[in-house]
Amino acid sequence: MSKTRRKQGKRSRTPGSILVLNGPNLNLLGTREPEIYGSESLDSIHQRLTASAKKAGVALEVFQSNQEGALIERVHAAKKQGISWIIVNPGGLTHTSVALRDAFASVEIPFIEVHLSNIYSREPFRRHSYFSDLAAGTICGLGSRGYDLALQFAMQPR
C-alpha cells in the first residue's frame, strides 16, 4: 500500500461535504459518442446526485472543467474547504495527467475514480490510470450509475 493510501485510511471519512469533479469533454455528455458514454447529460447526473445528497443531509458540490489547471486548483481548494470526499471522473486526463495525480496525492482527501465506459475494454492507451492506485476505489463501465454508487459509498460513515 502506498504512503498516500495509508494516510487516506487514517483520515476521518465521515461524510460532511463531497465534491464531484469532472474533467475534459464531460460537459458534452448526452451528445458526445452516446454509444460509448450514454445519452444522459452531465447536468442531469449532477441534479440526481445533488438530490440524493440532499436527502441524506450531505452537502454536495459539482465542478467541471476542460482545463487541467482549473481542476488542479479545485482539488487544492477542496482541502482548504474541508471537503471530506471527492468523486472524480478525470476524463482523458486519466491517462495523461501526472500533475492532477500529484494534486490528489498532496491534499490527502479520499476519492473515488469513476468512468462511464469500461476503460479496460477500450483502446490500449486508455487502460492505464494515473489515479487508480491512489483512489479508495474505481468504478468503470456502469455508465452514469457509477456516480451514484460512488456517492452512496462516500456518504457512508466510517
- The catalytically annotated residue of 37, 46, 130, 147 is 37
**Dist. CA 2–CA 102, nearest whole Å:** 13
41 neighbors 48 (Cβ within 8 angstroms): no
Query: Does residue 37 have an active-site annotation?
Result: yes
- The catalytically annotated residue of 76, 95, 115, 147 is 115
Grid coordinates of 59:
452537502
42 neighbors 26 (Cβ within 8 angstroms): yes
Query: Does residue 120 have an active-site annotation?
Result: no
Burial of 62 by CB count in 10 Å (0-12 exposed, 13-18 middle, 19+ buried)?
middle
**Dist. CA 81–CA 101, nearest whole Å:** 19
Of 78, 49, 75, 79, whose CA–CA distance to 152 is shortest? 49
* CA angle in degrees (0–180, nearest 5) for 123-128-133: 155
Q: Which residues are catalytic?
A: 37, 115
